[in-house]
Amino acid sequence: MTTKTRPTRAVLVSLTLFAALVGSPAIAAPTQDESSATSPQQGTDKLIVYMIDHQYIDPEELVTIQREIEAIFEQQAGLEMEWQMDASPRRELRTEELRVILLASDGTRWFHGPSNVIGLAPHDDDGIGRNCFVFYRQAQWFWQQAVLRCREATRERTQATARGETPAAGIDQIAPADCGNYLPSLTPLIVARAAAHEMVHILLNKLDHSPAGLMRGSFNLMEWLAADQDPFRLLNEEVVLLRTMLSNTTLETNNR
């Protein structure tokens, strides 16, 4: 259970996912939250994530979210992950621990931030944070915009074919021909990548955005309606920093 107290002074790091002709949902960072759970073993070299689901997400969708986050941190960065579901210790979290808190409402209710924020990663005055908030309804809103774009492009292609014409070249800028293939899993992917984005902000104490990859400040809708994963990859320097962070944390813990 998360507390409903707001951080009095926080640095909010956000990610905006732009949808060409529509508005733009966004992402941000964690606050200091205290909940109950068993404490992991000291000296672990794992990234331990306490996922707290206030949206009551469908179990299959929740698995998709976890697998996508693992694909980023385990496959891209080589970091082992451990999940603790709907539980969190009543103590200050260590460097290798953080919370991912899935909320139904948007960020305005909790942080008085912009309504298009998908996630938040608040830091305190010392630049420290341990909670990653993701607003599920904003991910759903973004999915709805993707559906509208896909339908519009499909209708234009169908009508052009019926007239015996070649679809206009610009139709691919609305949505690719295979856009429908990506819609069923789009909402959990948005949630997962938003969470991963905020997790990196917290783990690296990163208050800015990168020029490319997962840690950019914004994404175009077309990047979500394609098979190309490059727009959502960690940069090499981010991978090195993450590995170094966990290695140093393990060494410090074992030397205590």
> Per residue in 123-157, is it b (16+ CB within 10 Å) or e — as a string?
beeeeebbbbbbbbebbbbbbebbeebbeebbebb
Determine the Cα–Cα distance for residues 252 and 77; give it in Å rounded to an integer.
21
Helix (H) or strand (E) holding 220: strand 218-220
Percentages helix, strand, coil for the chain (3-state, rounded to 5) are 40, 15, 45
Tens-digit pLDDT profile for residues 109-150: 666 666 678 888 888 766 678 999 999 999 999 999 999 999
Label each residue of 158-173 as H, E or C. HHHHHCCCCCCHHHHH
**pLDDT by residue for the chain (256 residues), tens digit each?**
333 333 333 445 555 554 333 334 444 433 333 333 333 334 346 899 999 999 999 999 999 999 999 999 999 999 999 999 998 998 989 989 999 999 987 666 666 666 678 888 888 766 678 999 999 999 999 999 999 999 999 999 999 999 999 999 889 989 999 999 999 999 999 999 999 999 999 999 888 999 999 999 888 888 988 888 899 999 999 999 999 988 876 545 554 4
Q: What are phi and psi of 165, to 5 degrees?
A: -110, 160
Task: Write the burial class of residue 43 (CB in 10 Å: 0-12 exposed, 13-18 middle, 19+ buried).
Answer: middle
Is the pTM higher than 0.85? The answer reads no
What local confidence, expressed as pLDDT, does residue 29 receive?
A: 37
